[in-house]
Amino acid sequence: MQNSSGFFIQFIRLACPFWYSEDKSVIRSLTLTLFILTVLQVGIAVVITEWSANLFNALEQHSMTELFTQIGLIALIFVANIAVTTAHFKIKRRLQLDWRNWLTTRLIGQWMNKGRHYQVTHIEGKHDNPDARIAEDIRISTESAIDLCHSLVYSLLLLVSFTKILWTLSGTVTLDLALIEIPIHGHLVWLALFYATSASILGWLIGQPLTIATDARQTVEANFRFGLVKARENSLAIALIHGEVNEQRRFLTLFQDIILAWQRQTRAWANIFIFTSGYSVLSMAFPILVSAPRYILGSITLGALMQSAQSFQQMTAALSWPVDNTAKVAEWRASVERVLGLANALDDLEQEIARPDPHRIVIEKPMRSILSLHDLCIRKLNDEVIVSNINAEIRLGERVLISGDAATGAKLFKAIAGLWPWGCGRIELPDGEPMFFMPPRPYLPTATLHAAICYPSPSGTFSKAKIEKTLKMAGLKELVGQLNQIDSWEKVLSREQQQRLGLVRLLLNRPKWILLQEAFDSLDPEGEAMMLDLICKELPQSAMLTITNQPTAEAFHHRRLTL
């Protein structure tokens, strides 16, 4: 875990741009309003202690008139407190949501941009489970930051306000040491400072292990959720190969990590509860016991006694902010570090790709309709060479079969797509003519089948009649009646049906450049040949690069590029 100074510097860099964003005037107005309402909350707390002193003095004097006066005043305080608290709550929630929305939008924009969500998985660092970091850790980071900041400002204002009150109420106490008498001014203030400071230091030391334990638990919880989601997404494959026993064993292993993290966090929590429970009881009795002798001796009134006790409690409560918020700070810091882990990884990735480096593949877009590979070398992140000396030139209408290792061919496609910058050499792309990539399994979002086929274009891009015609051409006549049905198509449809839907997308978009990566590997040789023949007939002017293991595919290509 990084040191506190480094952590807060990184958090400020992550958070500050929010107050300088496009909506900065609204954000700053909300922040100022929140501060003013916090000041009013402290003002009400001060007024309540004054009211309490007057009430107990009225009771001590048996004054019915003064009692009714105090009843009227508490009614006004009651209304004012409700109004201030309600307004404060709404403004705080608005600011929390706006901040979370801004940070979520920013991080998703970085993550889901130009394939960074894929590339970041290949670099080192603590950025696993980005879904949990974006969905949950950003929520905790923003909500808890504002809660903690408000409570800290509130405590500081309380400290300033009630230190002055308590100093005045303390008067002067003379410490008689037989030979010398020492006057002590504001003795209750010094007692409160010593009492709260000692407790804060002790509480901070006791709470340190909780930060580490909380971070560890959040990590293993995210790993467990990810494992369950992955099994759910691949339930058919698991069922077909009877992998349930292995999955159960894996889940239980992941859950065992949760049990260990839970126990570690429980021990840390238990130490804090032992301390805070004793501290809360002592905080209630200590101020009255300290001030009681002066009341018994007649030095102060009952109202002054109660006001002293309440002021002491408010001051120690303000000084006890570190103790009271140890657990929340631990949870907040753990979440912020997880958000920073993803944000830093994405920033590092951008810098690594952007900086001039001889071990980077250069992608250019000259003004011509040719795909060219010049002395292309593809490396792993550790600089190990995967394939080198690739030189090729593909023109419109050419169909090229990529042979050799399929995984290397996949890396070549990723390099052409700009997803794999590690290597050297140049790739010249046809300018203004997007590449149409067909992976082994097309992505089908949960939506109507019509929208899933049109993805990533809007659902109205292609007419229903055109889609129906293309479905029949691709051998998916049975899906024509399901175009308006909403479902999780990647689970409902077989792999073959999904690959045929990939072909439907291709025929609808009619691209000039097609890259097929084992796009029909679930079909038998005759089925794949039919798909390739259909592409060649429907898109004769398009260039096509194909990775496949089927020997029948060679008949549909003009030449071979061996890796």
Distances (CA, A) of 210 to 11, 89, 269: 20, 28, 7
Report pLDDT for 530: 93
Which residue type, as a one-letter code, is found at position 225?
R
| Domain definitions of the chain by residue range | 4-225+252-354, 362-445+488-562
List the structure tokens of 557.
Answer: 């290509």
Burial (CB count <10 Å: 0-12, 13-18, 19+), residue 496: middle
Report pLDDT for 178: 62
Report pLDDT for 181: 65
d(CA 287, CA 534): 88
Host H or E run for residue 464 = helix 464-473
Give the rounded distance of the alpha carbon of 45 from its chain centre.
Answer: 36
Residues 334, 215 contacting (CB under 8 angstroms): yes
Given the structure tokens 């999780």, which residue do they identify? 488
Domains 4-225+252-354 and 362-445+488-562 share a fold: no
Residues 11, 140 contacting (CB under 8 angstroms): no
Collapsed DSSP state (helix, strand, coil) of residue 438: strand
Host H or E run for residue 254 = helix 244-296
Geometric angle at alpha carbon 126, from 125 and 128, rounded to 5°: 115
| Fold annotation for 4-225+252-354 | ABC transporter transmembrane region fold (1.20.1560)
Whether cis (ω within 30° of 0) applies to the bond prior to 456 is yes
Report pLDDT for 62: 83
Q: Strand pairing partners for 23?
A: none
Report pLDDT for 25: 92
Report pLDDT for 226: 86
pLDDT digits (tens, 9 = 90+) for 247-269: 899 899 999 999 999 998 898 88
Residues 416, 427 contacting (CB under 8 angstroms): yes
Residues 322, 204 contacting (CB under 8 angstroms): yes
Report pLDDT for 175: 63
Q: Give the residues of the chain that fall short of pLDDT 50.
A: none
Domain 362-445+488-562 top-level CATH class: alpha beta
d(CA 383, CA 248): 38
Helices (H), 320-445: 321-324, 326-354, 406-416
- What is the four-CA torsion angle of 409, 415, 419, 422, rounded to 10 degrees? 110
Q: Strand pairing partners for 370?
A: 395
d(CA 555, CA 563): 19
Given the structure tokens 């274009």, which residue do they identify? 457
Report pLDDT for 304: 75
Q: Strand pairing partners for 546?
A: 401, 516
